[in-house]
């Protein structure tokens, strides 16, 4: 969906109706608009605690989509998951309403603020969350919009102090090009590794998009990059040659996190924390204060999130869906498992991603002791008979008896059969696999845990 040539601030959009308001992206924008007194309505396919929370804040929210829901709307905001035949989108188009994609709606609430935009193939949510908490500990009260809920607050967005000219920390998504709409003062890039090629087509085009993102900085803007990652290191070098001010961080060098214990182990999480710390210092905040916030950070939902323990088995859930993310979270989980075994349930996300990276996903899963691969989560794509869970499972370098494929419904029972006291079970993926952990815990608890 095209972004309008002229982007109005949120306060000039009239009544705003969100199609897909329960999603991580739109719900956060709606929450900020409500805090600013904007009249908000919305719809979603299913009810959820997110919808209940928005209703409590004053939004008029419907379950199900109907053209009548936009009767008094002035602006329609549309999720990337919404199709052209959605009745609310069809009605808004017929009436000539202003229609905004998610990126333009986020830009509308950013207007008039000092924006820090956090991008990268992996780690955006965690880095954005860490920076938000660090800035709060350092005396700031930034607005923020994150792709996941902060464990400490249970929300993914807030308007902060609400002051014009105040800080706004935002997760900047590259999957649909959204990050090319924003006007940041500080840009953070943790890594650049090919993904979302259904959108970008080639690795070169994907890489070039990050240069275009950095080019949106003003002349006195700052780019923060973690040079552990070759893609981010190359971006930093190109931008430095172009005269951009670039701040680099690396977990391979002695630094400010020495002696600091983070909420979860793993080099990728330390890289996120270093990037957040560097961005906070660029904004003029004291290192000691920022570190206090980073040390106190308790995580973001679905990022190595502990779900519980039953029958002597601990269960964690994480959002990893790319081979590099899988490898990083398995490194972290292996430390958490200690002397116990690591049992992983992985749900491949998207046909296009699995077609390209399925074998690499399987290779990364080989760091576990037992692996259960669920059926693909299709999301916005149509199924392909040639792209199945077997593409991933067949590449796992473990004995055949330690690898299985199963459906979402049967996954809890399969994991319960494999797990034993002392094990750590990790559910991974960007789709519905997050439902598996609680069901597994119920089975294990029912068995006497």
> Which residue(s) pair with 371 in the sheet?
344, 403
Q: Which of 75, 88, 124, 406 is catalytic?
A: 124
Contact (Cβ atoms closer than 8 angstroms) between residue 121 and residue 174? yes
Could you tell me which of 364, 351, 377 has the C-alpha nearest to residue 435? 377
**171 assigned to active site:** yes
123 is in an annotated binding site: yes
With tokens 């053209």, the residue in question is 67
Q: Using the 8-state DSSP alphabet, how is residue 121 labeled?
A: S
With tokens 């002397």, the residue in question is 339
**382 assigned to active site:** no
Contacts of 72 (CB under 8 A, 6+ apart): 15, 41
121 is in an annotated binding site: yes
Q: Which of 125, 324, 354, 434 is catalytic?
A: 125
125 is in an annotated binding site: yes
Cα distances from 135 to residues 114, 221, 222, 280, in angstroms, run 13, 18, 17, 6
50 is in an annotated binding site: no
259 is in an annotated binding site: no
Contacts of 190 (CB under 8 A, 6+ apart): 118, 119, 120, 122, 123, 124, 127, 225, 226, 229, 232, 271, 272, 275
122 is in an annotated binding site: yes
75 is in an annotated binding site: no
E-state strands within 64-183? 75-78, 98-101, 114-119, 143-145, 157-158, 167-171
**125 assigned to active site:** yes
Contact (Cβ atoms closer than 8 angstroms) between residue 331 and residue 325? no
Q: Which of 171, 185, 305, 414 is catalytic?
A: 171
Please report, in range form, the residues annotated as the binding site for ATP.
120-126
Active site members:
124-125, 171
């Amino acid at each position: 969906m095209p972004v309008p040539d002229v982007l109005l601030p949120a306060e000039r959009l009239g009544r705003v109706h969100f199609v897909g308001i329960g999603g991580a992206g739109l719900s956060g924008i709606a929450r900020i608009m409500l805090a600013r007194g904007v009249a908000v309505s919305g719809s979603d396919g299913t009810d959820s605690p997110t919808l209940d929370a928005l209703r409590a804040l004053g939004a008029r929210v419907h379950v199900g989509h109907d053209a009548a829901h936009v009767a008094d709307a002035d602006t329609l905001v549309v999720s990337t998951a919404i199709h052209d035949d959605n009745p609310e989108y069809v009605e808004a188009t017929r009436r000539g309403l202003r229609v905004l994609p998610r990126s333009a709606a986020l830009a509308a609430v950013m207007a008039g603020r000092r924006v820090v935009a956090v991008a990268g193939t992996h780690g955006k949510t965690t880095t954005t969350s860490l920076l938000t908490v660090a800035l709060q500990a350092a005396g700031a009260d930034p607005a923020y919009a994150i792709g996941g809920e902060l464990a400490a607050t249970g929300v993914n967005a807030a308007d902060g102090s609400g002051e014009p000219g105040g800080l706004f920390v935002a997760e900047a998504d590259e999957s649909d090009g959204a990050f090319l709409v924003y006007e940041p003062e500080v840009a953070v890039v943790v890594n650049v590794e090919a993904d979302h090629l259904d959108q970008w087509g080639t690795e070169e085009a994907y890489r070039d998009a990050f240069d275009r993102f950095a080019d949106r900085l003003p002349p006195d803007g700052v780019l923060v990059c973690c040079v552990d990652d070759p893609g981010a290191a190359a971006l930093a070098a190109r931008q430095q040659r172009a005269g951009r001010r670039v701040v680099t961080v690396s977990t391979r060098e002695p630094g400010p996190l020495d002696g600091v214990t983070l909420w979860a182990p793993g080099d990728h999480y330390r890289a996120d924390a270093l990037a957040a710390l560097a961005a906070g210092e660029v904004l003029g905040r004291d290192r000691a204060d920022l570190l206090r916030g980073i040390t106190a950070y308790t995580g973001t939902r679905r990022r190595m999130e502990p779900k519980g323990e039953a029958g002597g088995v601990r269960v964690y859930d994480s959002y990893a869906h790319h081979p590099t993310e899988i490898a990083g979270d398995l490194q972290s989980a292996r430390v958490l498992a200690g002397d116990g075994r690591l049992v992983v349930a992985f749900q491949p996300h998207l046909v296009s991603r699995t077609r390209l990276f399925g074998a690499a996903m399987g290779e990364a899963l080989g760091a576990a002791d037992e692996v259960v691969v669920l059926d693909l989560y299709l999301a916005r794509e149509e199924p392909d008979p040639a792209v199945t869970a077997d593409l991933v499972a067949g590449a796992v370098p473990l004995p055949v008896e330690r690898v299985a494929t199963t459906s979402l419904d049967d996954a809890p029972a399969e994991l319960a059969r494999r797990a034993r006291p002392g094990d750590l079970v990790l559910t991974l993926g960007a789709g519905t696999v997050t439902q598996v952990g609680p069901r597994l815990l119920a089975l294990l608890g029912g068995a006497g845990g």
